[in-house]
Amino acid sequence: MPSAVPACADVPQPAHPLRHRPVDARARYRFVRAETLARVQGLTAEDQTLQSMPDASPTKWHLAHTTWFFETFLLSGLAPGYTPFDPHFRYLFNSYYEGVGERWPRAARGLLSRPTVAEVMAYRAHVDRAMEAWLDGGALDAHTAALLELGLQHEQQHQELIITDIKHALMLHPFPPAIFPAPAPAEPAGQITWRAVPAGLYAVGATGKEDFIFDNETPRHKVWLEAFEIADRAVTNADYLEFMADGGYRRAELWLSDGWAVVRAQDWQAPLYWQRGEEGAWQVKTLSGCRPVDPNEPVCHISQYEADAYARWAEARWPGARLPTEAEWEIAAGEPPVERALDDGSFHARVTAGFYGDVWEWTASAYTGYPGYRPPDGAIGEYNGKFMSGQMVLRGGSRATPAGHVRKTYRNFFPPATRWQFSGLRLARTP
Ligand SMILES: [Fe+2]
């Protein structure tokens, strides 16, 4: 049953120094909320109710949950006289915040035929009106402004999940619809070249100059790195096809034990969304239709197990090849992220050379707190810290990642068997 709506005093007050650069809060709120809706333009109401697996949520749930965040953490405690749209929504659209109360099970979100998509859109409009009226009411103190920005960054994280989750659902359809424009062919990737990074004591983590950071990017701290080299581009489909042709999915010696167990249990033979065409050549299902695998695109939709196995296989060609640690990745990520001007609305990774930010890159690092890390007090402290177990770090960003989230210190994290995110890899090696 839905829990009672807590009193205003339950609104969390993050002790952590959430930081962001002052902006026109109302304009920024509108911009982020509009971007979310832009991403779902091509979806039917029926599409938006699908839940294809426990890890993925219906589009409709994302639209409501991001709205719930503003209602729960801002409006309910800070906007005088605010009336919740529907008290049941506090239960239905709480994701994982124990501090907010009970919640509907994650794996059963697809069973929520009610509220309808139209009602969720009315919920968004209700909260938007209240938020904009509240933002018109005067300047926010630093703490409240930071909480608002956290809500916007949270919505942007869900913008990416909206894409990855609906992709997983639609790709299970026997005739997947093309809901986005097809990308242009990828530029030739070229051979991997290696950039040497000398051994030394390096500082990693947020510098304080970022427009915004999540708590898990702090504290900045020093790490000793032995000399290493890092590839100038992500691993391509052409690279990965060589691994597959060399028996990559059939050679137990290339795999971590847990990874090999998943390969066997799931009968993995290729990245997620790949399938054999009539002529036997590999094709890839995308949000803009099914087409031949482009050898120049970065390999995408692979698990950390597959990334690790590929790196082990690649050692025969490049002695010392392996996945980078997240600290190595951060120190080596000197190039600017992928030009967002290349965004073509396809939500499909296709750039490798000289960039990061087109495909998430698995690292060899387990997701843990940095030395001295403390989550914020209150329910907001549940945002990142409680997930620091059993997950691996990815760095960079993908075509589905909002531009402001692509930065050197950003830490994405998923369990190692995860494949439905836009995940690939870049090699490092020990000279
Ligand atoms: Fe969330």
> What's the 93 CA to ligand 1 centre distance in angstroms?
9
Taking alpha carbons only, the member of 153, 60, 160 closest to residue 111 is 60
More confident residue, 126 or 278: 126
Q: Is 221 left (phi over 0), alpha (psi -120 to 50) or beta?
A: beta
pLDDT score at 346: 86
Q: How far is the CA of 427 from the centre of ligand 1 (A)?
A: 31
Which tokens in the block code for residue 269? 């033979």
pLDDT over 70 at 338, yes or no: no
The confidence score (pLDDT) of residue 20 equals 52
Residues with Cβ within 8 Å of 185's Cβ and at least 6 positions away in sequence, in order, are 294, 296, 350
Answer yes or no: are the C-beta atoms of 398 and 358 closer than 8 Å. Answer: yes
pLDDT digit string (tens) for 224-235?
999 999 999 999
* CATH class of the 194-429 domain in this structure: alpha beta
137, 78 Cβ separation under 8 angstroms: no
Task: Give the pLDDT of residue 22.
Answer: 52
Mean pLDDT of the chain: 90
What is the CA(256)–ligand 1 centre distance, in A?
Answer: 31
CA 307 to centroid of ligand 1, rounded, Å: 27
By the 8 A CB rule, do 214 and 153 touch? yes
Give me ligand 1 centre to Cα 59, in Å.
13
CATH domain 25-170 topology: Four Helix Bundle (Hemerythrin (Met), subunit A) (1.20.120)
DSSP 291-333: EEPPTTSBP-S--HHHHHHHHHHHTTTSTTEEPPPHHHHHHH-
- pLDDT tens-digit map of 407-418: 899 999 999 999
pLDDT of residue 155: 97
Residue 2: its pLDDT value, please?
Answer: 31
Ligand 1 centre and the CA of 342: distance in Å?
A: 28
What percentage of the chain carries pLDDT values higher than 70?
91
Cβ neighbours of 280 (radius 10 Å): 6
Could you report the per-residue pLDDT of 153-186, keeping only the tens digit for each? 999 999 999 999 999 999 999 999 999 999 888 8
What's the whole-number mean pLDDT along residues 11-40? 72
C-alpha 267 to ligand 1 mean position (Å): 31
Which tens digits make up the pLDDT trace of 268-293? 999 999 999 988 999 999 999 999 99
Interatomic CA distance for residues 102 and 63, integer angstroms: 20
pTM over 0.75: yes
CA of 95 to the centre of ligand 1 (A): 6
pLDDT at 110 over 60: yes
Is residue 16 predicted with pLDDT exceeding 50?
no
Cα separation, 165 vs 55, in Å, equals: 8
Q: What is the mean pLDDT of residues 328-352?
A: 74
Question: Would you say residue 41 has pLDDT above 90?
Answer: yes
How many whole angstroms from 91 Cα to the centroid of ligand 1? 14
Residue 166: CB atoms within 10 A of its CB come to 26
CA-to-CA distance for 257 and 271, rounded, in angstroms?
19
Structure confidence at residue 19 (pLDDT): 47
Residue 153 three-state SS: helix
139 C-alpha vs ligand 1 centroid, how far in Å?
26
- 113 CA to middle of ligand 1, Å? 20
3-class secondary structure, 416: coil
- What CA–CA distance (Å, rounded) separates 133 from 113? 31
**301 or 143: whose pLDDT is higher?**
301
Cβ-contact 207, 220 below 8 angstroms:
yes
Cα separation, 142 vs 263, whole angstroms: 49
CATH fold match for the domains 25-170 and 194-429: no
Peptide bond into 416 cis (omega under 30): no
Residue entry with tokens 């810290």: 385
The pLDDT, as a whole number, for residue 251 is 98
Structural domain boundaries in the chain: 25-170, 194-429
In angstroms, what is the span from residue 419 Cα to ligand 1's centroid?
20
The one-letter code for the residue type at 2 is P
